Amino acid sequence: PSSLPAATPAENPRPHHKPSRFIYFESAPSAVAANKCRVAAAKGERVEDGLLIDPQGLPTTDPGVMFQDPTGAILPFGGATGGHKGFGLALACEILAGVVAAGFPALPENLRPGRVVNNALAFILDPNRISDGAWQGLADAVYDSLEQTPARPGGEGVRLPGGPERAHLERAQREGVTLDPDTIAALHRIGGSLGLDVPALLGGV
């Protein structure tokens, strides 16, 4: 199977004068991000159905198929009827970031097990150059309208992109961050090679 749809992020940051309204949308054009598969594999966990296929093209919930040789693949978002949309977006991202910007696309010889490949290409737009100052007030009106949308029974209501991440950051600052054993081992290995006192830096872990 092709490994092209493996999580190439599409980012859409939108500036705002209120920190709580700063919109940062980052999404993989695949059904799940490759790094989430990496974390699940390190924890020995399974992923949901419909996200991955193994090297034979068969459905699997084992995230480890993404980090073996031959590798499996992450399916594009959109499911059985709309997967062409995610694939098209992934292909556009790959050509722009992997081919045009980096010259290091997702070809088999570049995707050896254990190698992490991250290419990036940024387009920066200044809204004040294409709109007058009224755009900020109009954006506020859109955000207000979304946040005031009634929630379905038992639901949480509309959350703007970036909201869950801000909540996670606040929780992590209060309670700390949980690291899986593989990550801790990697920190010890890399930090130790640089002469760092890793246990002290990690609070005795």
Percent of the residues in the chain that have a pLDDT greater than 70, as a whole number: 89
User: In this model, does residue 114 exceed pLDDT 70?
Assistant: no
Average pLDDT (61-86) is 91
Q: Could you report the per-residue pLDDT of 44-57, keeping only the tens digit for each? A: 999 999 999 999 99
Mean pLDDT of 30-56: 92
Kindly tell me if the per-residue pLDDT of 136 is higher than 70.
yes
Domains observed in the chain:
1-124 (3.30.1370.60)
More reliable by pLDDT, 134 or 63: 63
Global pTM? 0.69
The residue-averaged pLDDT of 148-174 equals: 89
Q: Residues 75, 37: contact at Cβ < 8 Å?
A: no
Q: Looking at residue 16, what is its pLDDT?
A: 60
pLDDT of residue 1: 38
pLDDT confidence tier of residue 132, bands split at 50, 70 and 90: confident
